[in-house]
Each structure stands twice: as C-alpha cells, then as structure tokens.
Structure 1
C-alpha cells in the first residue's frame, strides 16, 4: 500500500468519480483507476460497486475509507511538522472556540496560557454547535472548546466549566404578549421570530438546535452579536448566554422570560475536546494539561 494509492482512492470518494479525482489531484484517469485497482488486489476486496453510474463504496470500501482518512490526516500532520522543523519554527497551535464559550473563565484561562508560554503562538477560530467539532474532524484545529454537541467515542473531552443560557426578549415586545407574571404560552411566540445562530456545517439551519419551538418563525444569524442586536431592537426572542447580555439585563434592554413547556434557562457544560486517534503536537499537549489543571472537575476526562 502506497500513500499515492490512498490519495487516489480518497479523491474518488470525495469527488464522486474517477475523472474528477484525476483533476483534483492532478493525475491521469488511468492512473487513478490503476491505484484503486492495486489496493483492491492487494487486500482481495472490492472498494467500489462499479455497476452504477457513479462509483459507490461497498461495505468494505466504506470501512477502508474511514481508516484511510484517519491515516492521511496523521500523514498531513507529520508532513507539516517536518516542514516546520526544517524551517526552525513550529506551526501555531490551532484552537476552535465555540461562540457560546467566550466568557471570562475561558478567556482568563487562555490569557494565562499565553502569559506562561510566550513562545507558543495560537491560531484561534470560532464556530457554533456542531461546527466546533467539525473543525476537529476536518483537521482545521487540534483542540476545540465548546458544548457537548456531536461528541461520540471518537472524542476525548474534559469539562472546563458551565455557562448559563437564558431566554430573553425586548421588554416593549414582551408587553404585546399580555403575559403578565405567568409563563408565556408557546402559541404566543409563534408570530415572533426565534433567533438562532448557525454553525458552518452543511444544512446548519435544519440541524443542531435543541431548544427550538416546534412551530413558529425562525431567523438565523452568523454570530451572537448579530443575535443580540436583533433582540435589543425588539425583532425577536431567543436563548442567550447570560455572560453575553449582562449589561443589557442590568439596564433593562432585555428581560428574562419563562416559556411554558420549554427550557427557558439551564446550565450548559463547556468542554475541552480533541480527537482520540490524532497524535497531538507538543504545544497542544502543553495547552491540554494546563487547561485540565485549571478545572476542578477532572473526573470527566474521558
């Protein structure tokens, strides 16, 4: 088995055809076919069902593809490390932070890490819901920090802290609901948009949101700042991290609401997450251990 053969096989799966695979990795179509055929002959299995218009993975092919992706991810890490070492530099530690997790606790931990390890550069991106774990699986970060969305036995994770999520609305908009001091009925909110933050994964507007009314208008935005702006101007209602709206709650621009048969407020655990199969860089190991030592709840390290 050669790496070029695996690259050809993966390219066919990801592009959907031998011709497109050849274009994507700058090989000839006969070369792609030969590479895949060599893998099949070496292990005595069929990777593709070629009876359909497009090559379709067999059961064996699907299993082989999953492991091939893991191996190529590790090869890419090794290649990048080799280039960095040859240049006498180490690549920045790539982190992906959930927008929900950007509270004082998380920021103080990262700041403390930077102050203690000034020689380690950080490359930080943000995402939401399943988009955070998606960055891990696509090798766009080594460590993620966020809620437990999409975690399974591929992940190792440790709880760092908890944030408070709370349903809020503009007080002038609340008056129009005639709710008084009682819980708001869900039907009263159907005509008012529930504002939700999208992640970057495919079909983000259809999946991932657990606390959504089954009926009613929904608006999707890209970040919590846009969400807060719409809320302040009375254009909808939403659940928000309390730490994002402390001043707005204090000055009365937003007020908490209790919705009938709905999780209007709860504590949401925030985790530090990595992939089990992935060998972490030295910088990532240092970061993981320091963040872990900050936590008072290391029993969740899985």
Structure 2
C-alpha cells in the first residue's frame, strides 16, 4: 500500500466520483482507478459498489475509509513536524482558554503535560462565552477549553471537568437590601447591578449569557478581575466560579446568596474543543490525547 493510493481512494469518497477525484488531486482518471483497484487487489476486498451511477462505499470500504482518514491525519502531523524541525524551530501549541477555567484542577493537568513535553512552546489566549469557539473558527488556536457555548456539529469536544458556580455579594451589600438571610426574591435585586463579563465574540449579536433576571440593572466588564473587584467593593452581585472566590468566602468578605427561581448554584461542565474538519498539528494532537487520557481516568 502506498500513500498516493490512499489519497486517491479518499479523494473518490470525498468528491463522489473518479473524475472529480482526479481533478481534486491533479491526477489522471485512469491513475485514480488504478490506485483503487490496486488497493482492492492487495487486500482482496471491494471498496466501492460500482453498480450505481456514482461509486458507493461497501461495508468494507466504509471501514477502510475511516482508517485511511486517520492515517492521512497522522501523516500530515508528521510532515508538519518534519518541516518545523528542518527549519530549526517548532511552532507553538496554540490554546484558547475560557477566562473561567483557570482552576487548580486544570492547571495541574497543564503542568503535567508541560512536564511530559518540556520542549514544547505553548501560546495561550483567553476568551469568554462564544469568543472561545470563534477563536477556533478564525484559526487563532487549535484546541480550546471552555463551557459548551455555541458548540454544534462542527465541533468535537470532550468533558474535562466541572466547575462549581455560586452567586455572591458582600455582607455590606446584602445588608442594604434589607434582608438578613441569604435567600432573596428576584425583585429585591432589580436595583442592584448584575455584574457580567462581556461576550467576546465579534460576530455574536446576543449577549450569550444564560442566567439573567428578566429585568434589572446590568454592568458589563471585560474580565473576571474587574468583575471580582466590583463585587468586593459592593457595587453589585454575580455568579462566580467558586475557586475564584474561595478565599473571600472563607474570610467572610463575600457570602453566597440563593435567588428564588434563578440558577444561583450549579456545576458547569468544561470541555476540550476542536474543529472536526481540522487536522491537528503534532503538538496539538499530543495535548488532545494527553488531556483525553486524563478525562477518561475520571469516568466512573
């Protein structure tokens, strides 16, 4: 079996005909037909049912096609690595993290990966809400980590962990609301700013926020540092990943509240995400497989 034969076979499947395959990979139609027939003869199988107008994969052909795609993906990764090594440089691993995801659990996994591949350079950018998957679409990163905002059939994703999210205010602000306990009605918060991090996606008309009161004051900031600063100065209330406010909850600088008919507390799934059609680089594939292995270890 030769790689050119596999490329020819994949081209026929993806273009729908031998003639279109020839045009797509700049070969003659007879050479495409010969490549496929050679594969069939070598393994004693029939890859296409040629009785129909267009070549249709047989059961054996479908299985062969799936493995062929995996093989060519690995070949592309190896070629990319070879070119980088020949130039004396290796492209950095480009990651995009949601701003909410820098928990100790995820950082421990990242540190473990870095220890296993200390020679790799890593370029990490941050985004929020729909901006995370938009980062992938614009090829600013190869792998993203964040909540399931805006994901669809274009994406492949694996759950890595879950973040506990709580709703918090300062005791001072809670006192001004005229309430002694931590359970509030929605109307009691309408005059108090709900502090939110802006949706960073450029091409997204909606705010992207799922948990909002139907009415009331809202303030938007660009990052969680600003959000937390406003919270600690009693300028509003917000939902926050617990790990970001753990020390303040322990010291009493912030307290949790429970808002009636509102998602005040939940577990937020965090996913590793890539584009289905995109072949990962050698570096990104190493990262994907390492994180995937850690995720599988956590399954019951």
Taking structure 2 as the reference length, the TM-score comes to 0.70
CA distance in 1, matches of 2:260, 2:297: 33
Determine the structure 2 residue equivalent to 1:255: 255
Write out aligned runs for 1:117-266 (5 A). Answer: 117-181=117-181, 183-202=183-202, 206-266=206-266
Post-superposition CA distance 1:107-136 (Å, at most 9, x none): 011111111101111000111111111100
Aligned to 2:112: 112
SS at match of 1:123: strand
**Distance in structure 1 (CA, Å) of the matches to 2:182 and 2:110:** 42
Q: List alignment gaps of at least 5 residues for structure 2.
A: 1-72
Larger radius of gyration: 2
Deviation at 1:182, TM superposition (A): 6.0
Counterpart-to-counterpart distance in 1, 2:205 and 2:170: 24
Q: Secondary structure at the residue paired with 1:271?
A: strand
Matching residue of 1:10: none
Relative distance call for 1:83 and 1:286 in structure 2 (3 A) is: closer
Q: Displacement, 1:203?
A: 6.7
After superposition, the Cα gap between the structure-2 partners of 1:213 and 1:248, relative to the gap in structure 1 and judged at 3 Å, is same
Deviations 1:268-301 (A, max 9, x none): 00000000000000111111111111114687xx
Provide the C-alpha distance between the structure 1 equivalents of 2:114 and 2:83, rounded to a whole number of angstroms.
24
Are the counterparts in 2 of residues 130 and 199 from structure 1 also a CA contact under 8 Å? Answer: yes
Counterpart in the other structure of 1:31: none
CA distance in 1, matches of 2:283, 2:104: 23
- For the 8 Å contact 1:160–1:297, the answer to whether it is kept is no
Distance (Å, rounded) in 2 between the aligned partners of 1:213 and 1:78 = 51
Q: Is the 8 A contact 1:198 1:204 kept in 2?
A: no
- SS of the counterpart of 2:259? coil
TM superposition outliers: structure 1 runs of 4+ over 3 Å: 77-86, 203-206, 296-299
Deviations 1:156-190 (A, max 9, x none): 11011100010000111101112233621111111
Map of 2:88 onto structure 1: 88
Whether the 8 Å CA contact 2:182–2:257 is kept in 1: the answer is no
Assess if the C-alpha contact under 8 Å between 2:80 and 2:281 holds in 1.
no
Task: Give the alignment's Cα RMSD to 1 decimal.
Answer: 2.3
